[in-house]
C-alpha cells in the first residue's frame, strides 16, 4: 500500500513510523522506466522506500520549461505502487519554500559553473538546495540518483561529502530505449523527426566510447553530431575533473532538438590523459 503525503507534518509522521533502513528516490514526476529502475534498486536495498515528486522551481531558469514540464501525478502514483514504494512525498512549492525564495542556498562550487551549469546558470544551486532539504526532511540511509544526470549525481555526492550529510548516495546506470535514446521525461516533447535526430546523441557517445585516445574519442563523437545544435561535447575524469587520467573517464553531451534540450553521457576507458571540451 503506497501512502501519499503532502505536508511536512504528514511526512514526519510517515518517517517516524518507518522501521529499518530507509531509501529515497527523488523525482520531478512524469515517471518512466528510468525512474522505475531507481525505485526497484531502492526496493532491493532498503526496508522502506520513499519517493518524492516535486517540480522544483528553484532549479529552472526564467526561460526554461517550468510551466510546460509534464505533470502526470495519477500515473506516477501507479508506477510507485507497482514498484512497492511505501510513501510518496508530493509537496507544493509553498510546502517546500514556505517563505518564498530562500535566502540561503547551497553553492555548488566550480563544478556547478561548467557544462550544464554554464548553460543553466543557478541550476545546480537550485538542485542542491532542494536535494539537501529533501534529505533533511526524509533522513534516509540511502538515496538513489540516475547517471543520466551525471553532473548532478557528482555534485550531490560532493555536497553529501563536504557537508557531512551522512547518507549513502547510489548512482544507477542510464536506462535506454532499445535504439539507444536515454529515457527522459523531456523525450515526450519531441516530434517524430526530432526523436530520430536525437539518436545522434547516444550514437556519438558510443562512437566516442569505442576509442581509447582523448582526441580520437572526441573526433569520433563529434562526427556523429554534425548538423545538431550542440551545447557541449566534453571528455572529463570520472569525477568530472578537468584532466581525465588514463582509465575511466566520462564523455558528456547536451544538444537542442527544436525547443527541447537533451543530455546524455557514457563512461569511456582511456589509455592517455588531457582534458578536452568542445562546443
Ligand X SMILES: Nc1ncnc2c1ncn2[C@@H]1O[C@H](COP(=O)(O)OP(=O)(O)OP(=O)(O)O)[C@@H](O)[C@H]1O
Ligand Y SMILES: CC(C)(CO)[C@@H](O)C(=O)[O-]
Which of ligand BAL, ligand X, ligand Y, none is residue 175 near (CB under 5 to 8 Å by kind)?
Answer: ligand X
Total binding residues for ligand Y by CB under 6 A? 10
Whether 272 has a binding-site annotation, put simply, is no
Of 41 and 86, the one with the shorter C-beta distance to ligand X is 41
Give the whole-angstrom CA distance, residue 243 versus residue 250.
Answer: 11
- Give the number of other Cβ atoms within 10 Å of residue 10's Cβ: 16
Which of ligand Y, ligand BAL, ligand X, none is residue 131 near (CB under 5 to 8 Å by kind)?
Answer: ligand Y
What residues contact residue 213 under an 8 Å CB cut-off, 6+ apart? 270, 271, 272
Whether 100 has a binding-site annotation, put simply, is no
Query: Is 149 a binder of ligand BAL (CB under 6 A)?
Result: yes
Give the whole-angstrom CA distance, residue 214 versus residue 77.
Answer: 44
Q: Which of residues 55-114 bind ligand BAL (CB under 6 A)?
A: 59
35 is catalytic: yes
Residue 64 per-residue DSSP state: S
CB of 78 to ligand Y, least distance (A): 19
- Cβ(80)–Cβ(51) below 8 Å: yes
- Cβ(138)–Cβ(22) below 8 Å: yes
Helix, strand or coil, per DSSP, at residue 23:
strand
- Cβ(252)–Cβ(151) below 8 Å: yes
Q: Which residue is nearest to ligand BAL (CB)?
A: 149
Whether 107 has a binding-site annotation, put simply, is no
**Helix 123-138 and helix 8-17, axial crossing angle in degrees, nearest 10:** 50
Whether 147 has a binding-site annotation, put simply, is yes
Of 59 and 138, the one with the shorter C-beta distance to ligand BAL is 59
Residues of the binding site for beta-alanine = 59
- The residues annotated with a catalytic role in the active site are 35
Which residues make up the interface to ligand Y (CB under 6 A)? 26-28, 56, 59, 127, 130-131, 149, 152
Residues of the binding site = 28-35, 59, 146-149, 152, 175, 183-186
Amino acid at each position: 500500500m503506497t501512502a501519499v503525503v503532502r505536508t511536512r507534518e504528514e511526512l514526519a509522521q510517515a518517517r517516524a513510523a518507518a522501521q529499518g533502513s530507509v531509501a529515497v528516490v527523488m523525482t520531478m514526476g512524469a515517471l518512466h522506466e528510468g525512474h522505475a529502475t531507481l525505485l526497484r534498486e531502492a526496493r532491493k536495498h532498503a526496508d522502506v522506500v520513499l519517493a518524492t515528486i516535486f517540480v522544483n522551481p528553484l532549479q529552472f531558469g526564467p526561460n526554461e520549461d517550468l510551466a510546460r514540464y509534464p505533470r502526470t501525478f495519477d500515473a506516477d502514483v501507479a508506477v510507485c505502487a507497482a514498484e512497492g514504494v511505501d510513501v510518496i512525498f508530493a509537496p507544493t512549492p509553498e510546502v517546500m519554500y514556505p517563505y518564498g525564495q530562500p535566502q540561503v542556498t547551497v553553492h555548488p562550487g566550480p563544478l556547478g559553473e561548467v557544462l550544464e551549469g554554464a548553460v543553466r546558470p543557478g541550476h545546480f544551486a537550485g538542485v542542491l538546495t532542494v536535494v539537501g532539504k529533501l534529505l533533511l526532511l526524509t533522513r534516509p540511509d540511502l538515496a538513489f540518483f540516475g547517471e543520466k544526470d551525471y553532473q548532478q549525481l557528482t555534485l550531490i555526492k560532493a555536497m553529501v561529502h563536504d557537508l557531512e550529510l551522512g547518507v549513502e548516495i547510489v548512482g544507477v546506470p542510464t536506462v535506454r530505449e532499445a535504439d539507444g535514446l536515454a529515457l527522459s521525461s523531456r523525450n515526450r516533447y519531441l516530434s517524430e523527426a526530432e526523436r530520430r535526430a536525437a539518436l545522434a546523441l547516444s550514437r556519438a557517445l558510443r562512437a566516442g566510447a569505442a576509442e581509447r585516445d582523448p582526441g580520437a574519442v572526441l573526433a569520433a563523437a563529434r562526427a556523429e553530431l554534425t548538423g545538431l545544435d550542440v551545447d557541449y561535447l566534453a571528455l572529463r575524469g570520472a569525477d568530472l575533473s578537468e584532466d581525465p587520467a588514463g582509465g575511466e573517464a566520462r564523455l558528456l553531451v547536451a544538444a537542442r532538438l527544436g525547443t527541447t534540450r537533451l543530455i546524455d553521457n557514457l563512461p569511456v576507458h582511456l589509455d592517455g590523459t588531457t582534458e578536452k571540451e568542445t562546443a
